[in-house]
């Protein structure tokens, strides 16, 4: 299994040009919290706890999506003059995925961000 949490952390850190403790979002445990809550929500069989699991999963989806969106914004600000139309279209696609805010779309967005950032040589994960 890929360590997407580490990839998430590297992307956040690279976009904001900070170390691990530079901003609270730059921590792999944020993404691991999403992974844990996703599994808990999907595997839950107790109907009385369903809303609690859904709330926790949705909370982490929102947090991770927002952190990635903020990293994209920072990336756009830093590389605005170097972005091609293809890059801008890719950013729009990523932002649309993050707005959906579900695990599957967040993981897809993470992969696209990684590719885009690698293209501009700001992260190598």
Q: Where are the domains of the chain?
A: 4-119
Place of tokens 């729009």: 92
pTM (2 d.p.): 0.92
Contact 60, 34 (CB under 8 A): yes
21-50 pLDDT per residue, tens: 889 899 999 999 999 999 999 999 999 999
Distance of CA 80 to the CA centre of its chain: 21
Per-residue pLDDT tens digits for 46-81: 999 999 999 999 999 999 999 999 999 999 999 999
């Amino acid at each position: 299994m890929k360590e997407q949490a580490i990839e998430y952390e590297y992307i956040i850190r690279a976009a904001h040009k900070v170390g691990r403790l530079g901003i609270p979002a730059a921590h792999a445990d944020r993404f691991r919290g999403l992974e844990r809550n996703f599994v808990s929500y999907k595997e839950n069989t107790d109907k009385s706890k369903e809303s609690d699991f859904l709330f926790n999963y949705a909370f982490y989806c929102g947090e991770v999506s927002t952190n990635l969106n903020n990293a994209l914004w920072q990336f756009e600000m830093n590389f605005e003059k170097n972005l091609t139309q293809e890059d801008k279209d890719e950013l729009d696609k990523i932002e649309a995925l993050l707005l959906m805010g579900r695990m599957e779309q967040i993981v897809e967005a993470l992969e696209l961000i990684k590719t885009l950032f690698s293209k501009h040589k700001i992260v190598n994960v």
